[in-house]
């Protein structure tokens, strides 16, 4: 019984963290929209397009690794969380 309660609590905490992270992504996207509208016309060298292509390639590779790891034997590795402010990692593109 106690194991079940711990499992429910950890699931709830994980879901709550994902909800906060998703909400943070939405807010970040909403706040960054004016910056994106200004940056797009100012990009004369095509750097934003190159970054978008690299990001799309990273996402494609991430999904490929997930498919491969789904078939791999399961090991007891701790799950990496992006953290509470993981949604702000997109701000690194503003360098």
The DSSP call for residue 80 is P
Which residue reads 């998703």 in tokens? 22
In this prediction, residue 28 has a pLDDT band, given cuts at 50, 70 and 90, of very high
pLDDT for res 90 = 67
Name the residue ranges covered by the structural domains of the chain. 1-42, 44-73
What digits encode the pLDDT tens for the residues 33-83?
998 888 888 888 888 889 889 999 999 998 888 888 777 666 655 555 566
Up-side HSE of residue 63: CA atoms within 13 Å toward CB? 5
d(CA 2, CA 8): 10
pLDDT for res 94 = 67
User: Do 90 and 28 contact (CB within 8 A), yes or no?
Assistant: yes
Does the pTM of the predicted model rise above 0.85?
no
Q: State residue 82 phi and psi, 5-degree precision.
A: -75, -15
The DSSP call for residue 87 is G
Phi-psi region of 74 (alpha: psi -120 to 50; beta: other; left: phi over 0): beta
């Amino acid at each position: 019984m106690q194991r079940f309660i711990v499992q429910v609590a950890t699931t709830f905490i994980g879901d709550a963290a994902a909800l906060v992270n998703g909400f943070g992504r939405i807010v970040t996207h909403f706040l960054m929209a004016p910056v994106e509208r200004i940056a797009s016309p100012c990009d004369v060298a095509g750097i934003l397009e190159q970054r978008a292509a690299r990001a799309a390639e990273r996402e494609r590779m991430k999904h490929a690794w997930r498919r491969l790891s789904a078939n791999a034997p399961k090991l007891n590795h701790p799950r990496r969380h992006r953290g509470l402010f993981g949604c702000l990692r997109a701000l690194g593109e503003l360098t």
